Amino acid sequence: MGRRKKEPRNVHRENIASAASVLFMEKGIAETSMDDIAKAAGYSKATLYVYFENKEEIVGILVLNSMKKLYDYISAALEQREGTWERYLLICKGLVRYQEEFPFYFDMALGKINIDFENREYVPEEKETYLVGETINEKIKEFLMEGMERGDLQSGLEMMPVIFHFWGMLSGMIRLAANKEAYIGKAMHLSKEQFLDYGFSMLYRSIAAK
């Protein structure tokens, strides 16, 4: 315990959040108690409350971490000096890689987040999560604008509706492919990658210049 006191506060918070993340994946958030988290992290329950006021605050930090991971994947794809179609595919592949490596984070990052910071209480991580998400949306908007300027995409696209429809369709497709991989192979004789490539191409054609 003496060594713990010498460690920075953020180290303890990261240790606790990491232990909680494993439990959330195994049992679900609702079924995981603060007692469970304290035991898994190797802290007393009293010490746990020194670093987190409640379970919601732990969830908030995990959602923020997941959104930052998503930002890293999207940024890496958009930094490539490729054409519009190629960069679009890199975004899609980045999302697939993100879901495969961090399935729990994938669902959290694309789940409901707080946007009302005027009329309700919130933990600081919630607002930061919102701001990271807005930065991602801005990057996607810039990508779409560049595609229109190049003549690769249809002119006059409504940015936010397009962005949100694509998030919904891409995330749904990626989840479906992960959950129904065996069925896709048996019924369609396609690998998960082939199924996704077909879907990615179909979505791109819906906004591509004619």
Each residue of 71-114: pLDDT tens digit?
998 998 888 878 999 999 999 999 998 898 888 778 777 766 66
User: Does residue 142 surpass a pLDDT of 90?
Assistant: yes
Poorest-confidence range of 80-84, 115-119, 126-130, 188-192?
A: 115-119
pLDDT of residue 135: 94
pLDDT bin (cut points 50, 70, 90) of residue 40 is very high
Q: Are 19 and 40 in contact (CB under 8 A)?
A: yes
pLDDT of residue 143: 94
pLDDT of residue 98: 87
Q: pTM surpassing 0.95? A: no
User: Does residue 5 surpass a pLDDT of 60?
Assistant: no
Count of positions (residues) in the chain: 210
Poorest-confidence range of 46-50, 71-75, 117-121, 155-159?
A: 117-121
Q: What tokens does 208 get?
A: 């591509």
Give the 3-state DSSP-derived string for 30-88, with helices as H, strands as E and coil as C. CCCCHHHHHHHHCCCHHHHHHHCCCHHHHHHHHHHHHHHHHHHHHHHHHCCCCCHHHHH
